Structure 1
Amino acid sequence: MVLAAQGKKINQISIDEIDWLTKLRRGLEETRKGFVTELLDKLGDDPLTPESLDDLETLLIRADVGIDSTDKVISSLRTKLNEEVVGGEAGIKFLKKELKLIIDKPIKDSGSDLLVPQKGKLNVWLLVGVNGVGKTTTLGKLAYLSSKSNYKTLIAAADTFRAAAVEQLKVWGDRSNVDVISNKSKNADPAAVVFDAINSAKKRNVDLLLVDTAGRLQTKNNLMDELAKIKKIIDKKVPDAIVESLLVLDASQGQNGLKQAKSFAKSADLSGAIITKLDGTSRGGVSLAVSEEVNLPIRFIGAGEGIKDLRPFNSYEFVEAMLADK
């Protein structure tokens, strides 16, 4: 996959990467408006006090950072205040560090900083989530990113419940130059579509098979059973396949997205999350809540409607964009 710009000098960052960083910063503008501007106004250059920490706690919760994440950050800051005087600028720097630690923990626990297909084996990525979070669009963007990163990619249109899903995927497939395996029968068995896609992937020596699934509520047993059936077919057909179940979450849903993550984590074997629609929402902090309260690594984020507007997640970029003061 295309690597993020973290750690690179300015003259080493491509125009494409600069465009993405600018877009991410703009996308998180609403989160900043409801958080950083007020935070900087409250803190200024004065030393942090117990009262200013109370204000910070309120701001973090309002930004959908989550109760657990907020408690952890505030507790760390209180400890630091007992050791030394911390000015406003130093407080922001310390806050950035704490937020990065929270969001990086599940990524480090997973043993892999970046989710990339492993060459020499079939990688199968299942995209799951409720209706309306952008699974199909996200899959199309993943197909583009994977193809441009020189991974041989194939799409399985296993959302057979939504009439427009297959046609929508075919449009994305054409834009990404990636083939789509589908079943023309009405209400076709999603597991059968995945069966055919695996056969095709093996014949073509595909690196990455992306599977679109029907929007499901974690309380709907039949749909969750269908997901389990798909996984059984993958295990049977390709026992050594590397399978990832990625939960797609809409950032604009805030704490509802966190509830979805908690529920899906109980009923599906999730390995990561993709946060979409970060542009134009004041609830970008939910990414931290998902990291802390579900211990789910965030693998990709979307901040725009264009085909290039999905990138591998980078905590440094994200926190810097969210807490930018301009």
Structure 2
Amino acid sequence: MNYKYNFFNRLKQSLLNTRKKLGDNITKLVRNKKVDVDILNNIENKLLVADISTQTTQKIINNLKNYINLHANCNNKSFYDTLRDEILNILISIDKPLLIEERKPFIILMVGVNGVGKTTTIGKLAYYYHLKNKSVMLAAGDTCRVAATDQLEIMGKRSGCVAVIKNNTTSDPASVIFDAVKMAKMKLADLLIIDTAGRLQNKIYAMEELKKIIRVIKKIDIEAPHETMLVLDANIGQNSISQVRIFNDAIKITGLIMTKLDGSAKGGALLSIADHFSIPIRYIGIGQNIDDFQPFEPHNFVEAIFKK
């Protein structure tokens, strides 16, 4: 089977719940109703139900209203294509693949709240780059959760990483991360991915700890971390917007990963995040296996939701 075809089908299957809630509902609506201003109220409801924010929904509706006013005799197909293009254009605005070749080692700091699947996602990310023949090291910076280091070591072995840097004699994550950055430089690793403790975004001391970690990294490499990646859980829907805002205000997020899209009907929230922020969505998690992980591609995402 063609690899790209299989890759797209896996994405399409993982977005099945979002597709039912967003794509199929809008397709049926547009197919069965006359294209006029009245149809916009129905589309607005469908977008909101699909966990797209009020701000983003209104933006789409206003643009569709302008389209109807300019094309009084438009047919259902052209209107439907315009609606899809509106959604696609929002996602394209934050389409920026991560280029780790710009630095060596390229240092990624992974952050997020408790329960988003951050450590598992690190393993998937490491495996993705291992398949690209990159040498990857992991840093066990989550010293709060007892099983975190063990979990990271398991994911490291599964992903084929060079090493997992840990420290059993200290609970200070900054110390572990400092050693990991030095080791990655000494070993000439292509990529260092740093795990951090999950934290509630409204806890000021937790954000201050992240700032301390960043200061420690900069003592070795002033330009690092080269990517500060926030991991989000698709199941929380629009609540992810507040997570992005608070983390970004505290430490400046440069990339996003949306996990658990396979078990969620709230994939529409990804559209809201793209519209509210100018932060690239780098990757998406689409299943439990280590290879259920893809770079985010707007065209594929929209096609998986809307294409029959």
- Interval of TM-score (by shorter of Structure 1 and Structure 2): over 0.9
Quote the offset at 1:159 in angstroms: 0.5
Q: 1:231 aligns to what?
A: 214
Give the SS at the match of 1:118: helix
* Distance (whole Å) between structure 1 residues aligned to residue 211 and residue 189 of structure 2: 23
Q: 1:55 aligns to what?
A: 42
Quote the offset at 1:30 in angstroms: 0.8
Please tell me the root mean square deviation across aligned C-alpha atoms, in Å: 1.6
**C-alpha contact 2:30 2:80 (8 A) present in aligned 1:** no
Match of 1:308 among 281, 291, 305: 291
* Distance (whole Å) between structure 2 residues aligned to residue 164 and residue 19 of structure 1: 35
Q: 1:24 aligns to what?
A: 11
Q: 2:173 aligns to what?
A: 190
Match of 1:156 among 101, 116, 139: 139
Quote the offset at 1:119 in angstroms: 4.8
**C-alpha contact 1:100 1:319 (8 A) present in aligned 2:** yes
* Distance (whole Å) between structure 1 residues aligned to residue 39 and residue 103 of structure 2: 54
Give the SS at the match of 1:106: coil
Q: 1:64 aligns to what?
A: 51
Quote the offset at 1:16 in angstroms: 3.4
Using the aligned pairs only, state the percent identity: 38
Pairs within 5 Å for 1:117-132: 117-119=100-102, 121-132=104-115
* Distance (whole Å) between structure 2 residues aligned to residue 164 and residue 88 of structure 1: 54
* Distance (whole Å) between structure 1 residues aligned to residue 49 and residue 248 of structure 2: 24
**C-alpha contact 2:237 2:267 (8 A) present in aligned 1:** yes
Give the SS at the match of 1:35: helix
Quote the offset at 1:47 in angstroms: 4.0
Matched, 1:83 2:70: yes
Give the SS at the match of 2:222: coil
Letter in 1 for 2:90: I
* Distance (whole Å) between structure 2 residues aligned to residue 195 and residue 19 of structure 1: 41
Quote the offset at 1:257 in angstroms: 1.5
Matched, 1:273 2:253: no
Q: 2:269 aligns to what?
A: 286
Q: 1:251 aligns to what?
A: 234
Letter in 1 for 2:121: T
Letter in 1 for 2:86: E
**C-alpha contact 2:138 2:194 (8 A) present in aligned 1:** yes
Quote the offset at 1:63 in angstroms: 0.8
Quote the offset at 1:242 in angstroms: 5.4
Q: 2:304 aligns to what?
A: 321
Q: 1:92 aligns to what?
A: 80
Quote the offset at 1:20 in angstroms: 2.2
Unaligned runs of 5+ in 2: none
User: Could you list the per-position Cα deviations for residues 42-92 of structure 1 after superposition, in whole angstroms to 9, with x for gaps in the alignment?
Assistant: 221654211111110111111112122211111111111011133222222
**C-alpha contact 1:114 1:312 (8 A) present in aligned 2:** yes
Letter in 2 for 1:126: L
**C-alpha contact 2:282 2:296 (8 A) present in aligned 1:** yes
Letter in 2 for 1:201: A
**C-alpha contact 2:141 2:196 (8 A) present in aligned 1:** yes
Quote the offset at 1:191 in angstroms: 0.5
Q: Structure 1: which 4+ aligned runs deviate by more than 4 Å?
A: none
Match of 1:181 among 144, 165, 169: 165
User: Could you list the per-position Cα deviations for residues 110-140 of structure 1 after superposition, in whole angstroms to 9, with x for gaps in the alignment?
Assistant: xxx3102025532111111100001000000
Match of 1:101 among 89, 96, 104: 89
Matched, 1:116 2:99: yes
Taking structure 2 as the reference length, what is the TM-score of the superposition? Answer: 0.95
Q: 1:228 to 1:120 in 2, by over 3 A?
A: closer
User: Could you list the per-position Cα deviations for residues 189-227 of structure 1 after superposition, in whole angstroms to 9, with x for gaps in the alignment?
Assistant: 101111110111011101211001100112212211111
Letter in 2 for 1:58: N
**C-alpha contact 2:90 2:275 (8 A) present in aligned 1:** yes
Q: 1:41 to 1:240 in 2, by over 3 A?
A: closer
Quote the offset at 1:94 in angstroms: 1.0
Matched, 1:262 2:250: no
- How many positions carry a matched residue from both structures? 306
* Distance (whole Å) between structure 1 residues aligned to residue 76 and residue 262 of structure 2: 28
Quote the offset at 1:241 in angstroms: 3.8
